[in-house]
Amino acid sequence: MHEMALCEGIMEIIEEEARRHSFSKVRTVFLEIGALSHVAAEAVKFCFPVVAARTIADGALLEIVELPGLAWCMACSSSVEIAQRYAPCPCCGSYKLQVTAGEEMCLKELEIE
């Protein structure tokens, strides 16, 4: 389960930001996860409280915004939403798609005290 390691990375970022901006408590963590990122949002929700225990984010609420996968079709020049890689273009059926968004995972915002 690589989501545990991802949550540990998130905590490292939070702790670095706490040192940089001198805050001592995180109330809410806002995380964006792309549909094509291979990150299971439910697994992150499960792992985050374990990793955050006894840190400045202990008890913090985790808000996940799931972003759609987007691609540009080279055959029909359409920008389309896709649910998974190697899916056909919903407009023309072509498999010549260039992924343009949805692979990211981003710590977007922290609500702090």
pLDDT digits (tens, 9 = 90+) for 53-64: 999 999 999 999
User: What pTM did the predictor assign?
Assistant: 0.87
What pLDDT score was predicted for residue 63? 98
Rounded Cα gap, residues 59 and 31, in angstroms: 16
What pLDDT score was predicted for residue 1? 58
Give phi and psi for 27, each to the nearest 5.
-95, -40
Fold designation for 2-68+102-112: hypothetical protein PF0899 fold (3.30.2320)
Q: Which two tokens stand for residue 110?
A: 């922290």
